[in-house]
Structure 1
């Protein structure tokens, strides 16, 4: 099953001003077996926070890549973008639904990323919540799934036309009801918005 890796970290001013700083990292990473696509981005709420989103063929491919002899050398090329050490990078890996819709969400005007715990019975409710927002004219793709190795934790990725369009959608149609139902379903939700670009 495909796995989506989402990492975020405090970035250097150099990287904030020159996004090409990670081009060599992307060039090397995409050669790893099972890594299909790489996206880089910056958070809307705090532009110093940078993102990496990788789409892997499976968790096994991700594990094998981490053990590959070239992996450490490849990540050394990433250091100039990172404010701190590799231990300061937050990472989640999720078995997300619909890779085509995930790609659509990541290439939208703005991408909403939610990392959350689901309350009891939440897994049965989430599909209906997704179905409800799917009719919004402002929405461009979505994908969600459980976080690997963290029971009860889930990731939701939703693409919107723009940050303003997302705000407008939150006040119209079925979205207000979705938000209310979501508040009863989700726990400790961490929500952020990012603008991504395809790196490889």
Structure 2
């Protein structure tokens, strides 16, 4: 006689609900870069915002970074380009850099983020860099003045964009050939260093007649 255990078909295994794909974290060095560069960008945006408000309240107000006709935050703040989207540009920086700082502190506390998050950060920093480079060309060749706080924002944004790109290439979030990955990781400093030198050269040549008076 067959026992009940043999007559009953084995119960099908229970299907487990799919686990969400694990996110990607980051090294502490990159997390600190987000915090530091984001803080510098936030500082520059904050100071420009305060000076812009004071300038609107009092047209005779002279910001501390307006030293002469060349190094003049006033000239830049009063230009049309200073409100490219119909409101002061620094408001974008206040929001964007605050998000970057929050991401950096999240990474320092062990947070991981999904792929779409890293792609979004990369696209955001890319758009920010393109905007900063446009503002730089406008300041140098249209307005004809240099805003030091603006320059700080440019440099911070470039660093954020490039090292977010390096992070994404390192972790395969941005697919790349193995040789390219190795080159980017070994010489990660080369592109931002060259970029900064080009900016310094453009600033130097554009206002060379002024710099000569300081020599």
Interval of TM-score (by shorter of Structure 1 and Structure 2): under 0.3
Which structure has the highest strand share of the two? Answer: 1
Give 1 or 2: higher helix fraction.
2
TM-score, normalization by structure 1: 0.27
TM-score by structure 2 length?
Answer: 0.26
The structure that has the greater radius of gyration is 2
